[in-house]
Amino acid sequence: MITYNKPSKLDRLYDYDYRWSFMKQEKKRNHVTLQQVAQHAGVSRATASLAQRGSTSISTATREKVQAAMQELGYVYDRVAANLRSKVSTTVGLIIMELANPFYSELLVGIHHELDKAGKTVILGTTFDSYDIQERLLSTMLENRVGGIIISAVPGSPSEPIDRIRRLGIPVVLVGRRPSGANGDYVGIDNELGGQIAVDYLIKKWHRRIAFVGGFSRLSSWQGRKKGYDTALRLADLPIDESLIIESPATRQGGYDAIQQVMDNPNPPTAVFCYNDAIAIGAMMKLDELGIKVGHDLAIVGFDDIPEAAIITPRLTTVSSFPRLLGSNAARLLHTRMENPDIPSQTIILQPSLIIRESCGHAKISALNILGN
């Protein structure tokens, strides 16, 4: 007996012949075709197609006439159908946590800049760190016939769904976060080194009680930065005080709330290493309310070097994670993978850099210089 296994949803979504035959049968109300636009403008369909793509091979007057016809008729370019006809998609799916976090805004700028040069369009989805939302977004990306996906995965995500998408022939580049056990293309920052250079800088400024504030331990980036924090303390023969390690949402509000817990410690720290700049800025706002002067009474170091870090008062010392560069590298890697699907997978790790500003003060630097340290 022959058993027929019905294709799964993911398999069928990327079966071009299946999908195209389905779309040919689907009748959409008031669907305006490019041929109708051409007739309305009094040009050939080929000329209308050139105008739709903004080609300079036709006159400006003809292009404007066709574009006016498109507006009058309500023509909408069907990118999905075009991808199916050519069997090459120019659309890329991007899944990130949120845009309110300036790190992701900067990451998006880098991705858009590179993909725009490559002639690709981005479909953006935000997960707010919800695995269910991430799953829905991945399905939506496939339904919209994306040619590849860039994703900053939700903490705790299994690698299997992403591996399965890759097995369907759809390139996936992980950026910033890498699920446990995930293989394939990845672009990230050396979080461990970033944490180590931040804490080492504070130690060299004679701080001996240094808190690590913000983020959650389930994040691979948190784990890396915490490991760097531990390494710097261990190399300086300093104890790791668990009461100075405070988890919180990676937001300004998270930093605002967490720093109160830090300062309520019976033996409070003299310096704080924050998981990211948003947390550091929130902490600085609360410290100002408490009458604690950052850069004089307490030193703070952030992570990411978002634009606001350079203009807040005092300006924030931070570890740059180069989010725009991360984005551009992820976009270039995805474009390369889409053009050459058989090349070996790549891992790109950027090296962080400490940006020294006023939030750690200056007096102790002078003292160290005098001592020759």
Strand partners, 137: none
* CA pair distance 102, 68, nearest whole angstrom: 38
Q: Quick one: pLDDT band at residue 367, thresholds 50, 70, 90?
A: very low
Residue 362: the pLDDT is 56
Q: Quick one: pLDDT band at residue 19, thresholds 50, 70, 90?
A: very low
Low-confidence winner among 10-24, 86-100, 353-367 (lowest mean pLDDT): 10-24
Higher pLDDT, 200 or 344: 200
Residue 211: the pLDDT is 97
pLDDT reading at 184 higher than 60: yes
Closest CA to 152 of 127, 170, 132, 171: 127
* CA pair distance 279, 301, nearest whole angstrom: 10
Which stretches of the chain are DSSP H helices?
A: 9-13, 16-25, 34-41, 45-52, 60-73, 79-86, 102-117, 131-143, 160-167, 191-204, 220-235, 252-263, 277-289, 323-339, 363-371
Q: What is the β-pairing status of strands 271-274 and 210-213?
A: parallel
Quick check: 47 and 62 in contact, CB under 8 A? yes
Strand partners, 248: 215
pLDDT reading at 24 higher than 90: no
Higher pLDDT, 44 or 54: 44
* CA pair distance 147, 79, nearest whole angstrom: 12
Residue 99: the pLDDT is 83
Q: Quick one: pLDDT band at residue 6, thresholds 50, 70, 90?
A: very low
Residue ranges and CATH numbers for the domains of the chain are 33-75 (1.10.260.40), 88-189+323-349 (3.40.50.2300), 191-322+354-371 (3.40.50.2300)
Residue 40: the pLDDT is 84
Low-confidence winner among 9-13, 160-164, 197-201, 352-356 (lowest mean pLDDT): 9-13
